[in-house]
Structure 1
Amino acid sequence: MKRSNRQGLAIALAILLLVGGVLLSWLTHGRGVVRDDPKRNISVPKTLTVPLQVRAAYNAEKIFVNYRWPADRPGLFHDVLVYEGGRWVVKGRATPGSQPDGMHEDRVAMMLDDGGVPEFARYGGYITVGDGILTFTNEASEDAVKAHPYLGGKLKQEEVSKSLPGTRSDINDWASLRSEEVLGAQRRAGYFLDLWHWRSHRANPIGMSDDQMVAEVRGGDDGKSAAGTNWDGERQQPRLMFDAAAVRHKALQWADVVAGRIDQESVYYLVEGQAVPFDPQAGWVEGDTLPRRFLRQPEGSKADITVQGKGRWADGHWDVTLSRALDTGHPLDDKILRDHGLYDVAFAIHRHATGGRWHYVSLPMSLGLGRDADIVAMQFDVAEPTWSGPGREVTLFYPGQVSWPHLHSKAHAGAEAIARRLPVHTRHSVEQLKHYGIEVEFAQEMRRQWLWTLWSGLALILGIGFALNMALAQRRGA
């Protein structure tokens, strides 16, 4: 081959490498990899942190905890039943991220421990996120959970919920529950988290909060809950409707519900005194809407947490105060609190019609009753506290899909630090954790993007190198 032909071929190859590198870089950059993917249960909120103000006080009998956080509008509804096309249909089923029709209630939750779960003080809610948990990309199937002899057979669970790592023999296997004998012994030893769970629709209107715990599952305390189902599956219709004689309407209108025209002063929830048995011949029209839950007075240990007044939304903020007896008399469900006691807490909120893991969470903090702590509960002598001044501001963050098994795996650079029991706050800030949650959700995409960047960079380097060599060769041959 003649020298001029070889030079021409080399120049063409150099140009091809340059153009290919630029094209590859253009195709794989600038679009980003962080994007919603409902099929993989991925939906990233636009805001990754939310401020929460917390205040606490106690007297000889009760503790009061006040929460205040921002929300663009109040989420007053959960799921509802809507009359469409001559039949009743359910609206408000859970979706990744915000429910499109706004049919998920706002919530605030507090996990509380007295030292019975030592990992909680170091890592907070991260320890409750086990293998196969609901709404993760790799969530366990409903059929598999139902087939589990204990979770599905005895507890009638349909999903993997929050749990404590010690309730499994293998943290990488959601199904590896310890024996019922061991689980019972753990509970008696205090190996569970108390969970205060305020719900804007399913408890707040009657001045109550859900009272739960986290052990082998996230479950309710013993007794009857504040919310029951208003759906008659056999007849495919509601069980109750509004009492028009008492509240002037037998149903709400779907258009009003979606548009947010129903406020806290409206009668929007079903409860004794404003509800009657459902009448299928009541002249239902398109868009008639009834809540899918009805409210009732809870009983037993589930009735321990009440709302001081009512949780209220005003001026873009929720303000909720919960109260509970220091000693509820239910030591297998609740953490018993004492004057000058020191406890561990972590907080979470749901807002903007989100459910499941699409919440904002805090790192663990200390709560002291009349003693130094991150949050100090002040002692008072009257029946109820009078709040003054701002509370302790806590920055909540979106946690992404970071599970306890992941944090112990080779994929987590800090796994060794966890093995050495170093607390999370000694190594990470909230600012870092909010980004880490995103990185974990998109780890494969980021790795693939890095490889494309590497190859496009190599192509550009080779192209430039060839071009320079050809230019030098031509200059020497001139």
Structure 2
Amino acid sequence: MMKRALLASLTAIAMAPAVAADPATINWTKIPAATVPLFYPGQSSYEWLLSDKHPGAQGIQANLPCAGCHQGQEKKLGESLVKGGPLEPSPVKGKDATKELKVQAAYDDKNAYLRFQWKTNANKPGIEYPYYRFDGKEWKVYGEPRLNKSVQEGKQVAMYEDRLTLMIDDGKVPGFDKQGCWLTCHTGERDMPNVAAKADAQKVLKKNDVRKYLPASRTNPSDWTTVKSPDEIAKLKAEGGFVDLIQWRAHRSNPVGGVDDGYVLEYRNFDKGKNHFASNMDNEKKVPKFMYDAKKFKSKATTAKDVGKRDPFLITGVNAVPFDPAAGWKEGDMVPRYYLQPAEGSAADNKGAGTWKGGMWTVVITRPLGLANPDDKAFKDGGVYSVGFAVHDDNITTRGHHVSFVKTLGFGAKADIQAVKLK
């Protein structure tokens, strides 16, 4: 872990601009901590919330807060949903029902600093992400998340990165302060009921699948196919009718000191610019784009037996070199599915550092105040924001996370989580 922390620190220093305060020097013992309960939600989509199957449907239709009925029931809800039933057709063995997320916030004249801590299900950090494995002829995916049928049937190994997610709104998205992330979770999305066919998603969205979206982006909020026109979507975005989506990833952002900056409107979008990670597959040549630099990684590839024994990250300018098809590839050789790189533009707004010790992640995210990009929600002194939190843990993605009800985050203002002004 010392080597991993050093790699992340050196890479972050090289890639990140100077910040007003060094987050590592903040005395977090002086910053109040809020404990936010998270629970496993299963397939409780926006459509389900509004249906007769949900006893509180009338409250949702009246725009009442989820927490109005369920505050303090996170443990009960999680235990009921995680074991399987109508809202969980594919229960994951050993999955935690709940988690506690410790949240602290501070700020100065330039940045907001958010610190998070949570215990992991596994006794090791979830830093692995699926690979491309050479089978002697072709490069095929090795490893998948635990909700996938191939993993549950034992045909693939369980593998996915740990992740922390924040959704943020400044009052411009109707209902987010009441229903939070459930506004973005719909039938047709990955691992949800009636998953959209790839051909249908390509026809309607020009994407391979359906991901998070806001009801306001559809003419029929419960039908993902009814996307409003590009002009209407652009108008919603210009009016601030989107939620900011910040994601810290243990494999695809943390090693380069980054944190995803995105937003949800008609789809789960990344901010403008270049993200911290990119696909390592050349779709025309059907071979990887990069391999490990053997001089720095001690080999050009890794193998299944080495998974978990050394840092797996493939980083441009650090330990990645262009793929050489004549390098003598053998069956079982593996390279990461994604390579890491410096982010650019609005996508590079957030910085982050995460360390795992004693079964717990500690993650600090730095975000500039007063961002003026059209794809950002700007934190400001005196502002209060609706926030939702989620943690992906133990080799899982999509809906297999633990989520919170909506909380408020305030900067110099009263809120559930009050940021402390640094002197």
Is TM-score (shorter-chain normalized) higher than 0.5?
yes
Deviation by residue 1:296-315 (Cα, 9 ceiling, x = unmatched): 111111000111xx311111
8 Å contact from structure 2 (residues 313, 339) kept in 1? no
8 Å contact from structure 1 (residues 142, 158) kept in 2? yes
Query: Would you say 1:271 and 2:322 are equivalent positions?
Result: no
Q: CA RMSD in A?
A: 2.2
Deviation at 1:246, TM superposition (A): 2.8
Cα pair distance change 1:299/1:339, threshold 3 Å: same
8 Å contact from structure 1 (residues 129, 163) kept in 2? yes
Correspondences of 1:41-440 after superposition (within 5 Å): 42-44=90-92, 46-71=95-120, 72=122, 73-94=124-145, 96=147, 101-148=157-204, 151-152=205-206, 157-257=207-307, 260-262=308-310, 266=311, 268-307=313-352, 310-330=353-373, 332-381=374-423
Matched length: 334
Task: Work out the CA distance in 1 between the residues paired with 2:82 and 2:102.
Answer: 30
Task: Work out the CA distance in 2 between the residues paired with 1:216 and 1:88.
Answer: 33
Deviation at 1:371, TM superposition (A): 2.1
Cα pair distance change 1:235/1:131, threshold 3 Å: same
8 Å contact from structure 1 (residues 232, 238) kept in 2? yes
8 Å contact from structure 1 (residues 255, 287) kept in 2? no
Task: Work out the CA distance in 1 between the residues paired with 2:172 and 2:190.
Answer: 26
Task: Work out the CA distance in 1 between the residues paired with 2:312 and 2:187.
Answer: 41
- Tell me the amino acid that sits aligned with residue 215 of structure 1: L
8 Å contact from structure 1 (residues 369, 378) kept in 2? yes
Cα pair distance change 1:35/1:107, threshold 3 Å: closer
Considering only CA atoms, is the larger Rg found in Structure 1 or Structure 2? Answer: 1
Cα pair distance change 1:342/1:36, threshold 3 Å: closer
Deviation at 1:356, TM superposition (A): 1.0
8 Å contact from structure 2 (residues 390, 403) kept in 1? yes
Q: Secondary structure at the match of 2:165?
A: strand
Cα pair distance change 1:95/1:144, threshold 3 Å: farther
Deviation at 1:34, TM superposition (A): 8.7
Task: Work out the CA distance in 2 between the residues paired with 1:131 and 1:241.
Answer: 38
Cα pair distance change 1:220/1:41, threshold 3 Å: farther
Task: Work out the CA distance in 1 between the residues paired with 2:239 and 2:356.
Answer: 39
8 Å contact from structure 2 (residues 303, 334) kept in 1? yes
8 Å contact from structure 1 (residues 41, 136) kept in 2? no
Between the aligned residues of both structures, percent identity stands at 36
Deviation by residue 1:125-147 (Cα, 9 ceiling, x = unmatched): 11111332221121221111111
8 Å contact from structure 1 (residues 81, 292) kept in 2? yes
- Tell me the amino acid that sits aligned with residue 58 of structure 1: Y
8 Å contact from structure 1 (residues 241, 290) kept in 2? yes
Richer in helix (by share): 1
Task: Work out the CA distance in 2 between the residues paired with 1:47 and 1:230.
Answer: 32
Gap runs ≥5 in structure 2: 1-79
| TM-score, normalization by structure 2 | 0.74
Gap runs ≥5 in structure 1: 1-31, 382-478
Deviation at 1:241, TM superposition (A): 0.9
Which residue does the alignment assign to 1:456?
none
Deviation at 1:95, TM superposition (A): 5.1
Cα pair distance change 1:133/1:86, threshold 3 Å: closer
Which residue does the alignment assign to 2:10?
none
- Tell me the amino acid that sits aligned with residue 343 of structure 1: Y
Deviation by residue 1:349-397 (Cα, 9 ceiling, x = unmatched): 101000111111000000011222110110103xxxxxxxxxxxxxxxx
Deviation at 1:256, TM superposition (A): 1.7
- Tell me the amino acid that sits aligned with residue 363 of structure 2: V
Q: Secondary structure at the match of 2:102?
A: strand
Instruction: State which drifts further: 266-275 or 360-369.
Output: 266-275
Cα pair distance change 1:133/1:336, threshold 3 Å: same
Deviation at 1:267, TM superposition (A): 5.7
Instruction: State which drifts further: 291-300 or 92-101.
Output: 92-101
Cα pair distance change 1:102/1:314, threshold 3 Å: farther
8 Å contact from structure 1 (residues 370, 376) kept in 2? yes
Deviation at 1:284, TM superposition (A): 2.5
